[in-house]
Structure 1
Amino acid sequence: MYKSVLIATDGSSLAARAVDHGTNLAKALGATVVLLTVSERFHVFAMEAEQLEETSASFKEHMQRQAGRTLSEAAAIARSAGVEATTVHLEDDAPYQAIIRTAENQRCDVIVMASHGRGGISALLLGSETMKVLSHSKIPVLVVR
């Protein structure tokens, strides 16, 4: 059924559940896994505290360290499940587009990602990346809550 599973993670505990679920799915199907994390690019005019205190170089270094930790933790989950995994770190201001593009480029059959399960006004205002992937992807998406 599925031969390649893309698992998007941001390093949160909720995303770790999606990594666990996705690797177990891959193991059951004999599929491989692509683990993806997406970092925002540095913006000179930013509202996030992280970006206000940093230079472009220090921000990039910080994001690379964070992405490295996120991907190594996800890869450890895949290894412990006995699943072959590739890791990918991208910088993109539209994470949902990077997720879909990577799934297409890596020829993944399914995308696995977490959702905080927000509804109503909260979901509309926050603009969930998961919701954007669901809305724009032609590849099936498995949402872990």
Structure 2
Amino acid sequence: MFQHLLMPVDGTPGSEAAFRKALEFAAAIGARLTLLHVIPDFQLHTYQVELLGDTRTRYAREASRAAEDYLGGFASEAVEAGVPCDTVALIHDHPYEAILDTARDKGCDLIAMASHGRRGMVGMLLGSETRKVLTHGSIPVLVYR
């Protein structure tokens, strides 16, 4: 059976609900859990770059600190449930790539993630990170809805 689950969380209620289901699953099968939060890269379009100073560095530092705090709450729940857990926060513009890279780098044998259920034009325009993970990855994916 599965021994190491990767669970991306993004701050949405669906993602947090999926985390709790994945945590129950991991506890039931005796698997460990890696939690991942992908932070969007700093984006700014300006002609006066010299006015920005350390804005990019400050963004990375503050966003990483916020992500660590966010992931820490989930990690505490995992510890209380008796599930070994580590956390990863990455700055990346393409969450699905960060998810697949992290799963590979950490040796995960299952990715458990939420699907936000966007359909129609909204789903087409926004895209689906879950769909991209399913399309581009070779690791099994458990999708929570």
Give 1:108's aligned residue.
108
Question: Structure 1: 5+ residue runs without aligned partners?
Answer: 47-53
In structure 2, what residue type is equivalent to 1:102?
Answer: T
Alignment of 1:43-122 (within 5 A): 43-45=43-45, 55-122=55-122
Give 1:51's aligned residue.
none
Secondary structure, counterpart of 1:76 in structure 2:
helix
Q: Assess if the C-alpha contact under 8 Å between 1:5 and 1:31 holds in 2.
A: yes
Alignment of 1:1-16 (within 5 A): 1-16=1-16
* Offset, 1:38: 0.8
* Offset, 1:65: 2.6
* Offset, 1:107: 1.2
In structure 1, what residue type is equivalent to 2:76?
Answer: A
Report the TM-score, using the length of structure 2 for normalisation. Answer: 0.88
Task: Output one character per residue of 1:70-98: Cα deviation in whole Å (capped at 9) or x when no partner.
Answer: 21121122112110001111111111001
Secondary structure, counterpart of 1:139 in structure 2:
coil
In structure 2, what residue type is equivalent to 1:23?
Answer: L
Q: Assess if the C-alpha contact under 8 Å between 1:15 and 1:114 holds in 2.
A: yes
Give 1:29's aligned residue.
29
Give 2:50's aligned residue.
none
Give 1:136's aligned residue.
136
In structure 1, what residue type is equivalent to 2:85?
Answer: A
Question: How many residues align structurally?
Answer: 139
Give 2:125's aligned residue.
125
Give 1:49's aligned residue.
none
In structure 1, what residue type is equivalent to 2:65?
Answer: R
Secondary structure, counterpart of 1:61 in structure 2:
helix
**CA RMSD, 1 decimal:** 1.8
Runs of 4+ in 1 over 6 A off after TM superposition: none
Answer with 1 or 2: which has the greater Rg. 2
Could you say if the C-alpha distance between residues 12 and 65 of structure 1 is closer, same or farther in structure 2, counting changes exceeding 3 Å? farther
Q: Assess if the C-alpha contact under 8 Å between 1:35 and 1:88 holds in 2.
A: yes
Secondary structure, counterpart of 2:138 in structure 1:
coil
* Offset, 1:61: 2.8
